[in-house]
Structure 1
Amino acid sequence: MQWWNDLVDWTQSDAGWRIISGAIIPFIAIVVAGIVGAVIGRGVTRRLVAQRDHETRASAVTALIQAGQDAAKWHSQSAAAKEHAAHLASEADVMVRLLPISGAGLAADWATHQLAEMRTNSVSYSYAADQTFSEYRDRLVLWLHKPGKGKRLFTTDLQRWRYDDQGPDPLVVEQQKWAEEQVTATTHEAPEHAASLPVGGATTALPAFGTSPAAPAEKAAN
């Protein structure tokens, strides 16, 4: 107890107070200021990093949405426009896959499937393609703002598609044939893209307009 009394007497003395006010208090103030500055700096850094990640992801999502707009009107584009759109879609796919964000690969795989579906549905002159594009755009925007929820939805869709091995929709095939007939009646030439129809990321061979599936076999027989 005596040491405590001696300490109190020392702090109340002129020499003790000079040391406390000239050294101890400034030291404590510097330490506290350093801690507060570190906490503030850490928070600012986190916000900057989060903002940068959001901007990068937004840029990638915007590129995918632009690719979706091109896919929704795929059937009405020229060969050069299709080539350019396919190049932009490929760049957007790579951009998304390189994002250091959980679910980026799933988002790219999901977008690839949906782009192929929109290109297929574009033969119906925009209704089915526009309907798919609306869902495509909304899902990507959801992933932009809520990556966790978007990732779960992407996973669910990809698993469902993995076990859903269906051939081309007969209605879509008939719509494509009708569209090709309109182009042929107008230009008197078969459209260049009549040979194939992308379905779900694959290509389904179709006979060119004016021929039947049995034509190659008959020619070989002759």
Structure 2
Amino acid sequence: MQWLNDLISWLGSSAARPAIFAAIVLFVAVIVAGLLAAWISSAAIKRMVTQRDRELKSAAIAALVDAATEASVWNSLTPQEQVLADRAVGQADIHVRLLPIRGSDVAANWAAHQLHELKRSSATFGYQLEPAVADFRDRMLEWQRHPGRAKKQFQNDLAGWRAERARPEQALAAEQDSWVAEQHHERYREERLVPEPAPLSDVDASAPTAVNLRPAQASVDAER
């Protein structure tokens, strides 16, 4: 116990005050440095996550805008091209729904409805769809910049479309869409069944031609 008494006596003496002050300053400096390093690391990680989310959202929105461009000429695409376009739209839709952004599900539902409408209109109004594609692009970019405000607008549009879907004429429009899609597939099926003309290289070279017959005919006339 003697060493403990000596330590307490030393701590209470005036000679120990500089050492105690230096130890306190060193302890506080270590704590502050640790807190500052943690804050810098947290800010850097948050910045990286934000940048990654922004890149993912930009890529998903770019894919949807590209899908809207293809949907505006949907009736001119081949069935194979339509399948590939639908796959791209499905992947972009999943990416949008998985984004950690408020209103991503609502934005995906709104985009899906707009793409469907562009496909419907491409059969008869394809030359007038450029403003619709531009409006689709602007609305998606607005959602990227202001998710909260755009979410309310999307919800209002979806509510209005649900009310319109309950009208009787929507059943007739659905039947018309099915008929247009069936005619489109029938047209490309008929084009595949048309036989292609045989190339000139496949023609029998030994068959007599008009060029080969002219000298022979000339010799017969001379004998006569």
> What do residues 167-212 of structure 1 show as CA deviations (whole Å, max 9, x unaligned)?
36x9xx9xxxxxxxxxxxxxxxxxxxxx9654xxxx4679969xxx
Q: Is the 8 A contact 1:114 1:132 kept in 2?
A: no
CA distance in 2 between counterparts of 1:114 and 1:54 reads 23
The match for 1:13 is 14
Cα 1:72–1:80 shift into 2, 3 Å: same
Displacement after TM superposition at 1:139 (Å): 0.7
The match for 1:37 is 37
Residue segments in structure 2 that go unaligned for 5+ positions in a row: 1-10, 185-224
> What do residues 109-160 of structure 1 show as CA deviations (whole Å, max 9, x unaligned)?
1111101111122234534322211111111111122211221111111011
Residue 49 (str. 1) matches residue 29 (str. 2): no
Q: How many residues get paired?
A: 171
SS for the counterpart of 1:123 is coil
CA distance in 2 between counterparts of 1:197 and 1:67 reads 22
Q: Is the 8 A contact 2:123 2:180 kept in 1?
A: no
Alignment root-mean-square deviation, CA: 3.0
Residue 60 (str. 1) matches residue 60 (str. 2): yes
SS for the counterpart of 2:100 is coil
Q: Is the 8 A contact 2:70 2:85 kept in 1?
A: yes
Residue segments in structure 1 that go unaligned for 5+ positions in a row: 1-9, 174-194, 210-222
The structure that is helix-richer by fraction is 2
Q: Is the 8 A contact 1:75 1:122 kept in 2?
A: yes
TM-score by length of 2: 0.67
CA distance in 2 between counterparts of 1:117 and 1:66 reads 15
Displacement after TM superposition at 1:63 (Å): 1.3
TM-score by length of 1: 0.67
Displacement after TM superposition at 1:90 (Å): 1.7
Q: Which amino acid counterpart does residue 47 of structure 1 have in structure 2?
A: R
Q: Which amino acid counterpart does residue 65 of structure 1 have in structure 2?
A: V
% same residue: 34
Q: Is the 8 A contact 1:114 1:136 kept in 2?
A: yes
The match for 1:189 is none
